[in-house]
Structure 1
Amino acid sequence: MGKTTRHEPATHEKARRLGEARRWLLARPYTAQELAEALEVHLRTAQRYIADLGAVPLDDRSRPPRYRLLTSEELSPVEALVTHSALRMLYHHAPGHNALYLEALLKLARRMPEPAQSVAIKSTEDLKRRLSHRLDEGDALGKVAEAWFRQQVLEFYYHKPGGSGQARRNEVEVYFIEVSRLNLGVYVIGYERGYHRSLRTYKLNRMSRIRPIGEERAYTIPADFDPRSYLSNAWGVVGSSGGEPVEVRLRFKKEAAYRLREGGYPDMELLDLPEGGLEARFTVGTDNHSFPLELLSWVQSWGPRVEVLEPENLRRRWLEEARQVLGEYAGEAYGDGGRDLSQWGGKVRP
């Protein structure tokens, strides 16, 4: 095959040989020795080409290993590990056994080299055994995805918590699918064209009788729809679909400050307090009653290490529920049949 000529610069020759090696590796997997023979170069030269091109070994335990190039659409082994870990976390929080997630986990596990591949596959089989008694929600996500990809209207019945108890029929043009940072639940964002005639957010496990209806390409996602903007004020996924966004101010004690400083909370401003605590300020979306409902459970999860300063309706609700808990269990807490709760209530600004 091509030999180096006396007048051909070495860098040009290397680039030409790398291009030739790339074509061979894209065609099929090769061992370093096979590639050396195909290119008529030394083994060490072929090994350098493999390294320079970023070729990866196949996951077939062959010895010597065979290498191939990943196309731009494929995941590298490390990318497969990152995706597998994220999907595994989502699977753990799924309310039902999700065959779609399970199959994706297996595919990602097979993209990892040994010994990680065997361990990841084993962990996936363990998930299948432990969750086989739960309902399968993979079909629901598949139908939502089908409608989104084909731009078909999605029909489903929705069980809204705290509502009448009756499921309401919806026809939605799906714009986006999001996973909540709070509960890792899957949510569908789209334009409800029947009753609400507005952009709405729906939790997947509250949807039933899901099916795409009508013709494909029945709608177009507006060019000005940007999920980043829609979700910018979302603490979970409600975002801009409810009331007007509100500014939240929380005061955290010193023992909670380290966790806030670790990050992971979007658009949160942290102000140092003299005693070592922090004041957190950020903006969140609200529901139709102008209440940041998604935020409440997160605030309550901090227990006595946080105080709500603003908005007033969140502070009032936080205090009311804290007093309810204390009222229920005051006798157990103090061992004296309870105390005057007004004293506890007076410890913080009402």
Structure 2
Amino acid sequence: MRSTQDELNTIRELICQTITREAGIRTTELAEMINIPERTMREHLRWLEDRGRIYQEKYNWYPLEDPRPQLRPLTFSPEEGLMLYLAVRLLVKLQDRRSLLSERMLHNLAQALSQDTKIGEYILQAAYQLTRRKQDAAHSRKSETLFTAHINRRWVRLTYQPYNGEPFETNFAPYTFEPSPIGMTIYTHGKSTIVNAMRTYKLERIQDVRLLSEPFEIEEDFDPSAWLKNAASIIGGDEVTEIVLRFSPSVVPRLRENSWFGFQEELIPDGDHLIMRFQVADTTDLKPWIRSWGAACEVLEPAALREEMMGETRRLAELYGWYVHRSTPSQQDDDPLGLNTTLNDFFG
């Protein structure tokens, strides 16, 4: 007995063959020719368009050649397979929504790595973990459309909602993608026609995306990592700001365990404390990392970032009913340690 998925695949292949044979055919004509409801036909056409099989001009449908590259077979040593499993674990942690594309990939990996080691079993467990994520069909469709556009080198038409500002539409060529642990998301970087320049868009803020027929080319000298130059996570650039942080003794061993940002950080002992000095293009991605250390991390420079963190700390204290203020110089003379001021702030 044939499965529903087999029937869907058969219908979609028939639609593609018909459009190839009858280039320029309209939706109503297709529905009548294949004998399925027009509404159902529109759903199939959108599915095929999102995957780069067909494209629409006005009311007419045309076939697209499939330039999809084929991946070559790979052979992994058991140690390499285990490293691949660690990458899979990061993928599962990154995705807060269910992704059928990821699940299919993990099942294929599990099958390929099922012999001789338990790595395939571990990867299969990761796939089952993804199935428990919340369903978001619209997000999955947008992601797959962008991936298809990148693979087939096709422009897309997208609607984007900035964090601050009004939504806008633009044609976009997705050059590359980058995951970010901050916000558990993926960004795409490429050329945007609204500014005729390279831009970075967050997938969750893309409201709608449609594959276009026009191809794009990625310049030969394009460096996928160049846009992350001097970035703490995603936002990079050539202009940098020097950051100086001071860490409490309790976290110094933990701080020394990692190189945190992929570029050189200068560590300077300061008694029992440790000062970290480095440069970044933008502090937006850096702030969550600073906050994660709590009171064990003090911002020394730049002054603007220090003031911002002080303001956040003050508001956080007030949120829990603690009202902190700075003592005046005269108060410091009577109370050099600030104990009375602190006690009054916290206990009234």
- With structure 1 as the length reference, what TM-score do the two structures score? 0.66
1:281-300 matches, cutoff 5 A: 281-286=277-282, 292-300=283-291
Cα distance, 1:132 vs. partner? 4.8
**CA deviation digits over 1:115-172, x for unaligned, max 9?**
34334324422431x22545564332221121112221122111211324xx221211
Q: Is 2:259 the partner of 1:272?
A: no
Letter in 1 for 2:320: Y
Please say if 1:157 is aligned against 2:149: no
- Residue identity matched to 1:258: P
Q: Work out whether 1:206 is the aligned partner of 2:209.
A: no
- Residues 150 and 174, structure 2, Cα contact 8 Å, conserved in 1: yes
In the TM superposition, what whole-angstrom CA distance separates every residue of 1:241-283 from its partner, at most 9, and x where no partner exists? Answer: xx83212111111122222211242213232323232211222
Q: CA deviation at 1:75?
A: 3.7
| Counterpart Cα distance in 1 of 2:83 and 2:158 | 33
- Gaps in structure 2 of 5+ consecutive residues: 1-71, 339-348
Shift of 1:83: 2.3
Are 2:100 and 1:99 aligned? yes
Instruction: Give, in whole Å, the separation in 2 of the partners of 1:153 and 1:179.
Output: 21
Contact between 2:85 and 2:119, CA under 8 Å: does it hold in 1? Answer: no
The residue aligned with 1:251 is 246
Identify the residue that residue 309 of structure 2 maps to in structure 1: 318
Instruction: Choose 251-260 or 185-194, whichever is displaced more.
Output: 251-260
Matches within 5 A, 1:87-166: 87-112=88-113, 113=115, 114-128=117-131, 130-135=132-137, 137-164=139-166
Report 1:183-198 matches (<5 A).
183-194=183-194, 196-198=195-197
Q: Secondary structure at the match of 1:225?
A: coil
Shift in Å, 1:187: 0.7
In the aligned structure 2, how far is the partner of 1:177 from the partner of 1:254?
38
2:328 is aligned with 1:328: no
Q: CA deviation at 1:343?
A: 4.1
- Counterpart of 1:254 in structure 2: which amino acid? P
Are 1:250 and 1:310, in contact at CA under 8 Å, matched by a contact in 2?
Answer: yes
Shift of the alpha carbon at 1:80?
Answer: 3.3
* CA apart distance, 1:202: 0.9
The CA distance in 1 between the partners of 2:107 and 2:232, in whole Å, is 31
Question: Could you report, residue by residue, the CA deviation over 1:34-91 in whole angstroms, capped at 9, with x for unpaired residues?
Answer: xxxxxxxxxxxxxxxxxxxxxxxxxxxxxxxxxxxxx874444433332233233222
Choose which of 232, 235, 238 in structure 1 pairs with 2:235: 238
**Computing the radius of gyration over CA atoms, which structure comes out larger, 1 or 2?**
1
Higher relative CO (CA 8 A, sep ≥ 6), structure 1 or 2? 2
Match of 1:223 among 215, 220, 223: 220
Question: Which stretch shifts more, 131-140 or 229-238?
Answer: 131-140
| Whole-Å separation in 1 of the counterparts to 2:199 and 2:129 | 37
What's the secondary structure of 2:93's corresponding residue?
helix
Counterpart amino acid of 1:180? S
Q: Aligned with 1:205: secondary structure?
A: helix
Preserved CA contact (<8 Å) 1:90 1:184? no
TM-score (norm 2): 0.66
SS of structure 1 residue aligned to 2:112? coil
C-alpha contact (below 8 Å) 1:84/1:105 kept by paired residues: no
Report the residue type matching 1:255 in the other structure: S
The secondary structure found in structure 1 opposite 2:307 is: helix
Tell me which amino acid in the other structure corresponds to 1:86.
Answer: A
In structure 2, C-alpha distance between the alignment counterparts of 1:123 and 1:228, rounded to whole Å: 28
Give the secondary structure class of the aligned counterpart of 1:321: helix
**Alignment match, 1:179:** 179
* Alignment partners' CA distance in 2, 1:315 and 1:96: 36
Quote the Cα distance in structure 1 between the aligned partners of 2:135 and 2:225.
Answer: 37
Percent identical among aligned pairs is: 26
Q: Partners of 1:154 and 1:137 in 2: how far apart?
A: 16
CA distance in 2, matches of 1:127, 1:160: 28
Q: CA separation in 1, counterparts of 2:302 and 2:291?
A: 15
Post-superposition offset of 1:312: 1.9
Q: Distance in 1 between matches of 2:279 and 2:122?
A: 42
Distance 1:230 1:247, change over 3 A: same
Letter of the structure 1 residue corresponding to residue 258 of structure 2? G
Which residue, 290, 303, 306 being the options, matches 2:297? Answer: 306
Out of 117-126 and 93-102, give the one that drifted further: 117-126
- Amino acid corresponding to residue 204 of structure 2 in structure 1: N
Asked if structure 2 preserves the Cα contact closer than 8 Å seen for 1:80 and 1:108, the reply is no
CA separation of 1:79/1:267 partners in 2, compared to 1, >3 Å: closer, same or farther? same
Post-superposition offset of 1:179: 1.3
Q: Do 1:248 and 1:310's aligned partners in 2 also have CA atoms closer than 8 Å?
A: yes
State how far apart, in whole Å, the 1-side matches of 2:121 and 2:96 are.
27
